[in-house]
Amino acid sequence: TEGPATSEFAQSLERDLNTVRGKWDRLHKFYLFLHVVLVFAALVLSGIVIPYAATYQMSDLAFVSGLIVALIIGLQNAFAIGGRWARYSAILAELQALTFQLHRCTTNVDQQDDDELERIAAKLEQINTRAFMQVPRGQGLSTVEEGNRPR
């Protein structure tokens, strides 16, 4: 179709693209924040608190700090926090490229290519579906089971 129908489709596609990008952007920010906090906490505990506690014979503090570091490592492994953050970064990069394609396609309304808009819509659906299907999975309870297995 031409004129307003194409422009309505382009506007609808842009709204959908912004909605999908917003959803994955929120997940990306959450997992980035969580990843940074956990890594920073583990580094501070293992690099500063535990050596300090060991130097000044504060065994309780060293023990608790060691347990917290082990818990942080377990959380990272069990829930693939770093892998999810990286995956959501890749999804956002793909969505940004799709946004550029859409803007390039809709810059001149008189020359909009409906086939190109359809390809962009199909690519958006593909990216979103793949993002749901290929979420990095942590080791879950197998991390705990493996730690409790006799050697």
64 pLDDT more than 90: yes
Written in H, E and C, the secondary structure of 106-147 is HCCHHHCCHHHHHHHHHHHHHHHHHHHHCCCCCCCCHHHHHH
* Residue 32 CA neighbour count, 13 Å, CB half: 12
Handedness of CA 133, 138, 144, 149 (dihedral sign): positive
pLDDT for 1 equals 41
pLDDT of 151 reads: 62
Quick: pLDDT tens for 66-76: 999 999 999 99
Percent of the chain exceeding pLDDT 70 equals: 85
* Predicted confidence (pLDDT) at residue 6 exceeds the cutoff of 80: no
- Give tens-digit pLDDT for 96-114: 999 999 998 888 766 667 8
| Long-range pairs, 64-73, Cβ under 8 A, ≥24 | 68/41, 69/42, 69/45, 72/38, 72/41, 72/42, 72/45, 73/42
Question: Which of the four pLDDT bands, split at 50, 70 and 90, describes residue 131?
Answer: very high
Q: Is the pLDDT of residue 38 over 70?
A: yes
* 16 neighbors 125 (Cβ within 8 angstroms): no
* pTM of the predicted protein model: 0.80
Mean model confidence pLDDT for the chain = 89
